Amino acid sequence: MALDRESLEDIYNRVPIWFQNGALSAYGLHTRLTRYNKTFFRELDALRERDTWSTEQTIAYRDERIRQFIQHCADTVPYYRGLFRDLKINPQEITGLDTLSLLPVLDRATVRDRWREFVSDAFPASAQQIKFTSGTSGAGLRYISTLASTREQWAVWWRFRYAHGIRFGTECAMFRSALLVPLDRTEPPFWRRNHATREMFFSGNHMSPRYLPSYIEEMNRRRPPWIHGFGSTVTTLASFILESGLKLNYPVRWITLGSEQVYPHQLEKIEAAFGIRPLQIYGMTEAVANASEAPDGVLYVDEDFAATEFLPVNESGTCDVVGTNLSNPIFPLVRYRVGDLAVPADGQSANGRRIVSRLDGRSDDYIIRPDGSRLGRLDILFRRMVNIREAQILQQRPGEVRLRVAKGKDFTAADEAALLSVARKHLGGDMDIQVDYVDAIERTPSGKLLHVRSELARGQL
């Protein structure tokens, strides 16, 4: 009998550390053989070649890809067959990015409630990989991809890395919140190693002053030249270095940040601690938009990967990010509202890529645990909660949180029990956790839903 994900996690947490490292490395080897194979590197070479194209070549390639994608949607996807019929639109009227506006913007709730209608009937069930994401709204979303679409997305992310001199197999210290280290652990090591892809995963959930000296010691022992992670976790490490006086005894060559908004003060702190400027990439698992920082320090839209639109929300230049996932024909999302805000700029690169001057993306606050350690990037609490419309984590006192939940139509007591179970696992059994049900989560003046809202005084953060 196949074990579910939660059962596998429980087994993982009970086995010795050497076995956990072995399991992580075995998974890494499988990923390397399936995702990072010859097809992947051919895809990466093609993407890098497109960086040398002219503006006309880039736009023509993007628009032709949009035309083919829209026709595929109209022919093979139940939701879009109905949409084109109801709107009396011929899919051939959509000839590129400028004509996508003939179709309405797609909201997350529609995809969540009618997700089966978005599955293309051109692919066999054996090609489907079911995945989950939480995104900016905090509500769980189920979607489907193929190995080919996942491979292309990773090739785009590796194009960004190659542009800055990072090569596949470079030793990397990963700072993230995945529970590879059990939350109740109180002794080092607070990291696990994937030998197959040369990655060290440092727990983002144990980054308190009590434990961080061991992080510094391990990094000085391993000397990874590349640090990658969430802006919040890397900033926590940088703050500790600056405040404690403990330092890395070797030069870090690259720091890359992704998956959440990074504020200017965080960039300054990271650069002060490590002596180099972090590099940023913007993307999401749904693959409807992507932007990568180039060596000139500018964030450019990856025009050849997804059809990204910026729809103004106010007179200040702030826009909704709306995108179409051209790389995933098995589960097309056309003009999908991400829930992120961005400010595009005038101008473009030599090969026609538009510029993003500022992102207001997944801006998570910290949560303070009873022991004073800080937890960030907590969207994982709601990642599989597909019967929740919206959610927010509210903290008013250290060691206490309120999970504010807007129920979906199929929400039951079993969903609440599952939510509390996941929350205790990721926040710790000593955290006071309450659930509050609301009709909707209020937005900021700019229209953004804050996934985490902290009302702690600045001195408590």
Neighbour tally for 340: CB within 10 Å: 22
H helices within 171-287, ranges in order? 212-222, 231-244, 264-274
In angstroms, the CA 188 to CA 177 distance is: 16
Per-residue model confidence as pLDDT tens for the chain (461 residues): 455 566 677 788 788 889 988 988 998 999 989 999 999 999 999 999 999 999 999 999 999 999 999 999 999 999 999 999 999 999 999 999 999 999 999 998 898 889 899 999 998 877 777 777 765 555 567 778 889 999 999 999 999 999 999 999 999 999 876 678 887 888 999 999 999 999 999 988 788 888 999 999 999 999 999 999 888 788 888 888 988 889 999 999 999 998 777 777 778 889 999 999 999 999 888 899 999 999 999 999 999 999 999 998 877 788 889 999 999 999 999 999 988 888 899 888 888 899 999 887 554 457 888 888 777 667 678 777 778 877 889 999 989 999 998 887 788 999 999 999 989 888 888 899 999 999 877 866 545 567 788 888 544 54
Cβ proximity of 304 and 50 under 8 Å: yes
Both tokens of 255, joined, read 């720091």
Helix, strand, coil fractions of the chain, as percent rounded to 5: 35, 25, 40
In angstroms, the CA 335 to CA 103 distance is: 8
Cα atoms in the 13 Å half-sphere on the side-chain side of 59: 11
Q: Is 19 helix (H, G, I), strand (E, B) or coil?
A: helix
In angstroms, the CA 12 to CA 15 distance is: 6
DSSP string of 97-127, one letter each residue: GGGGGGSPPBPHHHHHHTGGGGS-TTS-GGG
Q: What contacts 37, CB < 8 A, 6 or more positions away?
A: none
Query: What is the C-alpha radius of gyration for the chain, rounded to an integer number of angstroms?
Result: 22
Could you give phi then psi for residue 46, rounded to 5 degrees? -65, -40
Q: What contacts 416, CB < 8 A, 6 or more positions away?
A: 435
Q: How many residues does the chain have?
A: 461
Q: Tell the residue number behind the tokens 């509050």, with chain if given.
A: 436
Cβ proximity of 402 and 396 under 8 Å: yes
Q: Which helix (H) or strand (E) holds 299?
A: strand 299-301
Cβ proximity of 111 and 339 under 8 Å: no
In angstroms, the CA 406 to CA 51 distance is: 44
Neighbour tally for 369: CB within 10 Å: 20
Can you give the pLDDT at residue 457?
Answer: 57
Cβ proximity of 137 and 167 under 8 Å: no
Ordered strands of the 432-437 beta sheet:
432-437, 400-407, 388-397, 452-454
In angstroms, the CA 193 to CA 35 distance is: 19
Q: What contacts 244, CB < 8 A, 6 or more positions away?
A: 209, 212, 213
pTM score, whole prediction: 0.81
Closest to 117 in 3D by CA, of 70, 73, 150: 73
Q: Which helix (H) or strand (E) holds 290?
A: strand 290-293
DSSP label of 106:
B
Q: Please, which residues bridge with residue 201 across strands?
A: 174, 192
Neighbour tally for 410: CB within 10 Å: 9
Q: Tell the residue number behind the tokens 């991809």, with chain if given.
A: 145
In angstroms, the CA 428 to CA 423 distance is: 8
In angstroms, the CA 399 to CA 396 distance is: 9
Q: What contacts 459, CB < 8 A, 6 or more positions away?
A: none
Cβ proximity of 266 and 231 under 8 Å: yes
In angstroms, the CA 56 to CA 343 distance is: 24
H helices within 92-176, ranges in order? 108-113, 147-163
Can you give the pLDDT at residue 98?
Answer: 95
Amino acid 32 reads: R
